[in-house]
Structure 1
Amino acid sequence: MIYVDPKILERVNQWLTPVFDQKTQHTIKEMIAYDPEGLEDSFYRNLEFGTGGMRGIMGVGDNRINKYTLGKNSQGIANYLYKQFPNQPLKVAIAYDCRHNSKELAKVVADVFSANNITVYLFSNLRPTPELSFSVKELGCQCGIVLTASHNPPEYNGYKVYWQDGGQLVPPQDAEIIAEINNLQYGHVKFEAREELIHFVDSALDEAFAKASVKNGSFNTPQTAKDNLKIVFTSLHGTSITMVPKVLEMAGYNNVLLVEEQSAPDGDFPTVESPNPEEPEALKMALELAENEKADIVIGTDPDCDRLGIAVRDTDGKLKLLNGNQAMVVMSHFLLEQWKKEGKLNGKQFLASTIVSTPMVKDITESYGVLYKEGLTGFKWIAKMVKDFPELELIGGGEESFGYMVGDFVRDKDAVTATLLACEIAAQKKNEGSSVYGYLQELYKDYGYYLEQLVSMVKKGKKGEEEILAMMRSLRENPLKEIDGSKVIRIEDYQSGKSLNMKDGSISEMDLPRSNVLIFYTEDGSKIAARPSGTEPKIKFYMSVNERTEDDHYDAAKLQKKIDRIKTELNL
């Protein structure tokens, strides 16, 4: 006889009631008989909101993305909207990406909101996530939803929630909404749509968003420079194909080659192992096309078009992939340069990044006399800064995970406008006889050479979750005293909100929300951060090393060896 944990069986039995359709019940009965391990993983917990919303494997159960879990989310949010905005007409915008079931699940979500007498603006086809963020404000909605699992594998889908400022949920709204959802039973969800409240939107918003992207991402680049830049772009089977080529054309970039084999949206992502522009293999076809066509720059975006990977030619003319920190450094410095040229820096601006990103951005920002603000991982915290400091203008914001936002017209990472910005930098630098790579080397000379690397360890399912928690617990109970021969001088624990000075034992409070992150700083300037991913079954280790030399000679291999030693030391 197959054993099933009684607590899990109790949750399972709720799904075998008439509240759930016959197909769902049949699937569960099959799992009880033949797949108890899969049953346990599908029901052992409720799927939770993380750094970038809710993501999970599609299927039946409380720990899966399906009609019922998303319906319950939507019902909880509807209830919360009525409490937060009494006597106001309520409006919600909904978009979705290329993934399997995204269109159908988006309609389910729209049905639930409309059943609660809330007006819904639903995109009739897939669109980039940043366009949804823009649309929430443009349409005067109190809330926005996008169905996406970003760059996760094909079996995943997800649910991101945006508030009326166009940013993702942050405290206290996130906890309050989660409490509202947890107070519901599945039988409370209203699935019967009021179709007259569902309005399909497309072209008008596309045009408005494209114009705003061009306005924010263009910086007086001569047309001759644009014509002289050859661009290879790939959407990696995702949503960016609906907007990036259009924005580049509107901005005057006509020399754009698309990777046609990857241009059709496809939730199976058939030409890549992972549709993640952080991974070099994802841009393989684009790099091959660029070599054949002698292109200057390669750009690829993830499925929901909020991250981008960039490759540029180095001093030997070879295509070289920039990591997320390098792209952020170049974009941030360029924006600061442009704002200074235009006389727009008056002490009322700021530039933002996150605690796991390169310290180089802080050095650059402060060298311009501009405020630098740092938040927890995730662009929702940068969006919150915009809301918290209305007297300040956001110049730009980025983090190491290949995301950037230009200004604040979109309140999330935005690969549409960031793609245009990357092309502006490439066109201007080529026109000046330099390149993006040459520009980066100049910045290293001015600010010191920084090298970063991310190591992600995949730990799937319930067992994996327990292993990740055990690893973080071990790092807290047995903290690193030395890294690559250099003493640890400070430990920041964002879960306790305390910073420990290892030299004198003093403890100071940190003014950031609680989060399961540990950061170790060493005497030689190295920085090692550890955190469980908020969107994937992974624990992530972020390493940053740097050096300054008198003769402007930087040995990248030397710093890479240092990172390799640290990885070995930490068993990564």
Structure 2
Amino acid sequence: MNTLDRAKEWLSDFFDEETRKAVQEMIDSNSPDLEDSFYKNMEFGTGGMRGIMGVGTNRLNKYTLGQATQGLANYLHQQFPNETIKVAIAYDVRHNSKEFGKLCADILTANGIKVFLFKYHRPTPELSFTVRDKKCDAGIVLTASHNPPEYNGYKVYWNDGAQVVPPNDEGIIREVYNTKYEDIKFTGNDDLIEWVGEEQDDVYIDTCIKNSLYQDIGRGNLNIVFTSIHGTTYTTIPKALKKAGFKKVDLVTEQMVPSGNFPTVESPNPEEPSALSMAMNLARITNADIVIGTDPDGDRLGMAVRNLDGEMQLLNGNQTNTLLTYYILEQWKKEGKLTGTEFIGSTIVTSDIFFDIAKKFGIECKASLTGFKWIGKMIREAEGKQKFICGGEESFGFMTGDFVRDKDSCGSILTACEIAAWCKANGRTPYQYLIDIYKEIGMYQEGLVNIVRKGKEGAEIIRQMMTDFRNHPVEKLAGSKVVTIKDYQEQTLWNLETNEKSEMADIPKSNVLIYYTEDGSKVAIRPSGTEPKIKFYFSVKDTIKSEKEFEIKQKNLFDKIDLIKSDLKLD
């Protein structure tokens, strides 16, 4: 059917009056939004859905969410026949999130499923924790992470607390696509809802403290600035820091107010320096040692510390994770807990420094596709054989153990603040500690370019870009020959020096390309799975012998990244 015919289907009596009216207005006014709202069905991917809210098959609304939840209910009954099925549901501060949460609960209870529903918005990692803590069969969180205010999303978790992976994701997708809107059971049974309140925060926070802290040195003397950037962590992080003994915590009060409009920032993304500008300004007034900010659903953290000039500087995700990983492994070694059967988790687009760190401590680093659900899969598959210590990815996500099976800002912030307190007690800064790690391991610098192309036309442009980079690879990057290309969609490793291709089936298929050059530079290219953009990840490296060399070495590496961007025609 064409777009107009698809839209007219939503004028039937099955759809509520408000929906029918909105669709009719779009048709009558020949709205430019009509095409994007109805040209396809919103994709229910391997982790769920994320998109713009509104009416239409390609929008997030009660019917597309209802279809997803009814499909999930059908799959749960297939997997757990004749059992009492339990699902936990949480939601963030976004518009309609609370209503969407109750909608999902109603559909599940209408299907005879018990629901643990949070009374108010809570961070995504607390949902992951609660799935395990309440021994649920699945979990749902309504969030669009750091997307613009018009977005919302829907993520599904399995009984290990991690986002669904094969074969469960494929089974859920099949049931979702087999579900018609008319099949959705909207009339819920509140007797099957158990409301979850602040008491769960304490259980979660206490577990974070137990699993994320190692030594109590100087915690009461550390000056911290924290902002939730209008998101969910105002409910957990200040309380966790206080319980852990961090006494000097200044909050960016304007941003501690939960709001789906994110009124003080252009984007509530801690990767963006502008999102932390208010926190950085407060840090200058309070003479803070560390600045921390989280995204709306509270799974990722941005962190700034004093650089060599004494100015606050935002670390990138790889740098933050380097500090956390190295410190945690040092503590495990000090406690005699490293036996060689442990591992850390990373992703294929994250810096290769984590392989070097793992090698130094005599353990394994496992790399997965982008997304913490794959790190969760690693943990599940290794249970009883290897011990997971920690893991992270470049997009400001980290986890400090396996009690949460997703990136977790709470545990990560506690460890980051302990590092800062320990450094301060020893007359150092986390920035100097990072340079010490580079002197030991090798110095890495990373960069990221996002190219946004919206709508149907934009999706086609991104597809063509991936095709061109796949079929017509560049020969040199910053003067160094491209020697290897890993194609995760084709699952091949292409040696350009011998022109031989070999199979690479240890990681599931995904539309990702990685170029490696002769001098060790790395460029990963992939379309975003949640936003209308294509992403380019850069990693270059050098050696460093002293702190005095750091700034010039860093400048040289940034210059090299700029040359690579130019070679890829991204400047």
TM-score by length of 2: 0.97
Residue type of the partner of 2:530? T
Indicate if the aligned counterparts of 1:328 and 1:398 stay in contact, CA closer than 8 A. Answer: yes
In the other structure, the counterpart of 2:473 is: 479
1:211 aligns with 2:209: no
Q: C-alpha distance in 2, partners of 1:278/1:91?
A: 35
Which of 238, 243, 249 is equivalent to 1:250? 243
In the other structure, the counterpart of 2:497 is: 503
Indicate if the aligned counterparts of 2:439 and 2:546 stay in contact, CA closer than 8 A. Answer: no
Which of 396, 405, 409 is equivalent to 1:402? 396
In the other structure, the counterpart of 1:94 is: 89
In the other structure, the counterpart of 1:3 is: none
Local SS of the residue matching 1:524: coil
In the other structure, the counterpart of 1:492 is: 486
Which of 134, 137, 140 is equivalent to 1:142? 137
Indicate if the aligned counterparts of 2:46 and 2:170 stay in contact, CA closer than 8 A. Answer: no
In the other structure, the counterpart of 1:369 is: 362
1:73 aligns with 2:68: yes
1:198 aligns with 2:168: no
Q: C-alpha distance in 1, partners of 2:378/2:44?
A: 21
Local SS of the residue matching 1:162: strand
The Cα shift of 1:316 comes to 1.7
Q: C-alpha distance in 2, partners of 1:92/1:386?
A: 21
In the other structure, the counterpart of 1:8 is: 3
Q: C-alpha distance in 2, partners of 1:235/1:15?
A: 39
The Cα shift of 1:550 comes to 6.1
Residue type of the partner of 1:478? H
Local SS of the residue matching 2:2: helix
In the other structure, the counterpart of 1:312 is: 305
The Cα shift of 1:52 comes to 5.3
In the other structure, the counterpart of 1:44 is: 39
Q: C-alpha distance in 1, partners of 2:107/2:500?
A: 52
Q: C-alpha distance in 2, partners of 1:284/1:47?
A: 35
In the other structure, the counterpart of 2:410 is: 416
Cα deviations by residue, 1:107-158 (Å, 9 ceiling, x for unpaired): 0000000000000110000000000000001111100000000000000000
The Cα shift of 1:37 comes to 2.6
Indicate if the aligned counterparts of 2:47 and 2:164 stay in contact, CA closer than 8 A. Answer: no
The Cα shift of 1:425 comes to 0.6
Bigger Cα displacement from structure 2, 22-31 vs 10-19: 10-19
Local SS of the residue matching 1:303: coil
Q: C-alpha distance in 2, partners of 1:524/1:476?
A: 21
In the other structure, the counterpart of 1:433 is: 427
Which of 430, 435, 460 is equivalent to 1:466? 460
Indicate if the aligned counterparts of 1:53 and 1:535 stay in contact, CA closer than 8 A. Answer: no
Which of 125, 128, 152 is equivalent to 1:133? 128
Indicate if the aligned counterparts of 1:301 and 1:309 stay in contact, CA closer than 8 A. Answer: yes
In the other structure, the counterpart of 2:451 is: 457
In the other structure, the counterpart of 2:176 is: 181
In the other structure, the counterpart of 1:336 is: 329
Residue type of the partner of 1:205? Q
1:266 aligns with 2:259: yes
- Runs of 5+ in structure 2 lacking a partner? none
Q: C-alpha distance in 2, partners of 1:542/1:460?
A: 20
Residue type of the partner of 1:470? Q
In the other structure, the counterpart of 1:443 is: 437
Q: C-alpha distance in 2, partners of 1:465/1:35?
A: 22
Q: In the superposition, relative to structure 1, how do residues 194 and 280 fare at CA in structure 2: closer, same or farther (>3 Å)?
A: same
Indicate if the aligned counterparts of 1:244 and 1:416 stay in contact, CA closer than 8 A. Answer: yes
Which of 39, 42, 55 is equivalent to 2:50? 55
Indicate if the aligned counterparts of 1:122 and 1:199 stay in contact, CA closer than 8 A. Answer: yes
In the other structure, the counterpart of 2:559 is: 561
Indicate if the aligned counterparts of 2:219 and 2:246 stay in contact, CA closer than 8 A. Answer: yes
Q: C-alpha distance in 2, partners of 1:367/1:413?
A: 24
Residue type of the partner of 1:449? M
Q: C-alpha distance in 2, partners of 1:312/1:35?
A: 52
Residue type of the partner of 2:410? V
Q: C-alpha distance in 2, partners of 1:564/1:475?
A: 18
Indicate if the aligned counterparts of 2:46 and 2:173 stay in contact, CA closer than 8 A. Answer: no
Local SS of the residue matching 1:145: strand
**Count of aligned pairs:** 565
Residue type of the partner of 1:112? I
Indicate if the aligned counterparts of 1:501 and 1:507 stay in contact, CA closer than 8 A. Answer: yes
Residue type of the partner of 1:370? I
Indicate if the aligned counterparts of 2:52 and 2:151 stay in contact, CA closer than 8 A. Answer: yes
Q: In the superposition, relative to structure 1, how do residues 263 and 441 fare at CA in structure 2: closer, same or farther (>3 Å)?
A: same
Q: C-alpha distance in 1, partners of 2:30/2:434?
A: 53
Indicate if the aligned counterparts of 1:51 and 1:534 stay in contact, CA closer than 8 A. Answer: no
Indicate if the aligned counterparts of 1:339 and 1:345 stay in contact, CA closer than 8 A. Answer: yes
The 5 Å alignment of 1:271-290 reads 271-290=264-283
Which of 346, 352, 357 is equivalent to 1:359? 352
Residue type of the partner of 2:452? V
- Runs of 5+ in structure 1 lacking a partner? 1-5
The Cα shift of 1:547 comes to 1.1
Alignment root-mean-square deviation, CA: 1.1
1:238 aligns with 2:238: no
Indicate if the aligned counterparts of 2:489 and 2:512 stay in contact, CA closer than 8 A. Answer: yes
Indicate if the aligned counterparts of 1:52 and 1:378 stay in contact, CA closer than 8 A. Answer: no
Local SS of the residue matching 2:536: strand
The Cα shift of 1:506 comes to 2.2
Q: C-alpha distance in 2, partners of 1:366/1:326?
A: 18
Percent of pairs with identical residues:
55
The Cα shift of 1:49 comes to 3.6
Residue type of the partner of 1:412? D
Q: C-alpha distance in 2, partners of 1:453/1:52?
A: 26
The Cα shift of 1:397 comes to 0.4
Local SS of the residue matching 1:358: coil
Q: C-alpha distance in 2, partners of 1:50/1:487?
A: 36
